[in-house]
Amino acid sequence: MSEALRSKQNLDIPRALPGPEDLAWEAARLESARPEEILEWALGVYGERLTLSVSFGNPEGMVLLDMLDRMAGIHGAPRARVFTLDTGFLFEETVRFREEAMRRYNLPLEVMRPRLTLAEQVALYGESLYSCKPDVCCQIRKVEPQKRALEGYGAWVTGVRRDQTPQRADTPVVGWEERFRVAKISPLAAWDAARIEEYVREHDVPLNPLLSMGYRSIGCEPCTRPVAPGEDPRAGRWSGTDKTECGLHFAGGAVRRANP
């Protein structure tokens, strides 16, 4: 759905939504809830002002997409909207998988792209911005499009898990994201990789084929490599640098690797 079309939706109708203090209380109440229960709460509170971000690279987003698709229409539940960021640097496998996956799931998808084309970025910053100044590249090709994607919404559902990185260890299941001015909902925060894999098997959730080729965390092609057995799953992101985050979940993307 285009931004122009979305602006015609009733997403900006004034409605009393939980503030940061309310969300802290809800986080405590929902801490032991199942992800489906957290999503049910979110749908009840935010309705069509709830959106899910899916990268179509990692399994967490696909699990949440599957859960929301199963919930769509149950007891009149609204169909949450889905958005994804296409940086222009995605693997071809990821783009093909995105198209295949959305033929299965009956949820509206919006593909958000940067304001700058790759050619415009090269003209302004050179060909190697992603390697020489990766934080700037991520700001242009991820953070700025995401900010536009979240305009008009009240809550953003993410696949963040606490065990992914030390910086994510304190992720609440429900919190407030000040940068984007939305509630940030992480229904899978307490799950580990084994529980994700179990859900995928139980529900036959489709996954990006790169995951079976040694990639454990999939981002932009120039900044992602397969990892060796026993290596940290996120070691393949921005390999050779101390960068660990693109900036979507931590301001500036400046979170760094811990010293071994």
Q: Which residues are annotated as catalytic?
A: 246
User: Which contiguous run of DSSP H or E holds residue 6?
Assistant: helix 3-7
3-state secondary structure of 186: coil
The angle at the Cα of 48, spanning 183 to 182, to the nearest 5 degrees, equals 15
Label residue 22 exposed, middle or buried (CB < 10 Å: 0-12, 13-18, 19+). middle
Using alpha carbons, select from 249, 233, 66 the residue that is nearest to residue 172.
Answer: 249
Q: Which of 155, 145, 143, 146 is nearest to 181 (CA)?
A: 155
167 Cβ partners below 8 Å, 6+ apart?
244, 245, 250, 255
In whole angstroms, give the CA distance from residue 158 to residue 186: 5
Token pair listed for 107? 């949820």
Beta-bridge partner residues of 237: 224
Cα(3)–Cα(32) distance, integer angstroms:
36
d(CA 141, CA 248) in angstroms, rounded, equals 11
